[in-house]
């Protein structure tokens, strides 16, 4: 089962990929610096399919897309939070990293070691029995099917975006 990584409110991009380490374009190197100071064990233990559950305003701060790239490269299957910062959210849409907006009461009660199940727009905490609705951007899901915005643009002109992506 997927491991849950729990984080607090206002996890900013300086915590995800700190500026001093954030000077490489190598995706594997970026995966190694994810939360390097905030949670040094993260990049060593994270497994593909793991889920991050966090507090409000996840991804606030700098526009650095490495924050999304690093977590995607680590294999994070989804990030669940009550709210996400704008540029991080947009970067995730473009790259097809699944972000799920969920009720704060639900997310704050999730602990590491719990088991979550996500299906049919519902998240169920199998450990506690509580559940909530999962809100995922339709645009994100559509672009994810294409493999991200770059793959979309290899097949379509950007002017077709309004018609094909909702």
Partner 1 sequence: MAGQTLAQKILSAHAGRPLSIGDLAVINIDYVLAHDTTTAWAIEPFREIAQKVFDPSKIHIFFDHAYPAPNLQVAEMHRKIERFCKEQGIKINYDGVCHQVMAEKYSYPNTFLLGADSHTPTGGGIGAMCVGFGSTDAAVGMATGKIWVRVPPTIRINLNGKLSPAVYPKDVILNIAKDLSAEGANYKVVEFGGSAITDFDVPSRLTLTNMCAEIGAKTGIVPADSQTKRYLEQHNRYKPFEELRSDSNAEFESVLDYDISKIEPMIACPPDIDNDVPVSQIEGTPITHVFLGSCTNCRIEDLAVAYKIMKGKKVKEGVKFIVTPASREVYDSALLNGFLMEFSKMGAVIAPPGCGACLGRHMGVLGDDDVCVSTSNRNFTGRMGSPKAKIYLASPATAAASALEGKIADPRKYLH
Interaction site with partner 1 (CB under 8 A): 10, 12, 14-15, 18-20, 22-25, 37-38, 56-57, 60-66, 68-69, 83, 85-87, 90-91, 94-95, 139, 148-150, 153-154, 158-159, 161-162, 165-166
Min CB(32)–partner 1 separation in Å: 14
Min CB(11)–partner 1 separation in Å: 10
Min CB(15)–partner 1 separation in Å: 7
Which C-beta is closer to partner 1: that of 15 or that of 134? 15
Which C-beta is closer to partner 1: that of 11 or that of 52? 11
- How would you write the chain as a 3-class SS string? CCCEEECCCCCEHHHHCCCCCCCCCCHHHHHHHCCCCCCCCHHHHCCCCCEEECCCCECECCCCCHHHHHHHHCCCCEEEECCECHHHHHHHHHHCCCEEECCHHHHHHCCCCCCEEEECCEEEECCCCCEEECECCHHHHHHHHHCCHHHHHHHCCHHHHHHHCC
Which C-beta is closer to partner 1: that of 84 or that of 118? 84
Which C-beta is closer to partner 1: that of 119 or that of 154? 154
Which C-beta is closer to partner 1: that of 3 or that of 29? 29
Min CB(141)–partner 1 separation in Å: 15
CA angle 39, 45, 48 (to 5 degrees): 115
Min CB(93)–partner 1 separation in Å: 9
Distance CA 165, CA 41 (A): 38
């Amino acid at each position: 089962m997927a491991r849950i990584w729990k984080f607090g409110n206002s996890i900013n991009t300086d915590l995800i990929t700190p500026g001093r380490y954030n000077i490489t374009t190598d995706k594997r190197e970026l995966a190694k610096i994810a939360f390097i100071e905030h949670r040094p064990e993260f990049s060593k233990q994270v497994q593909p399919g793991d889920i991050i559950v966090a507090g409000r305003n996840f991804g606030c701060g700098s526009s650095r897309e490495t924050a999304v790239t690093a977590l995607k490269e680590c294999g994070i299957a989804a990030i669940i939070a009550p709210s996400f910062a704008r540029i991080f959210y947009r970067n995730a849409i473009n790259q097809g990293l699944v972000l799920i907006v969920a009720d704060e009461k639900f997310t704050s009660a999730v602990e590491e070691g719990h088991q979550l199940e996500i299906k049919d727009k519902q998240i169920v905490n199998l450990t506690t029995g509580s559940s909530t609705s999962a809100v995922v951007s339709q645009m994100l899901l559509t672009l994810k099917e294409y493999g991200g915005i770059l793959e979309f643009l290899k097949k379509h002109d950007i002017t077709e975006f309004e018609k094909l992506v909702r």
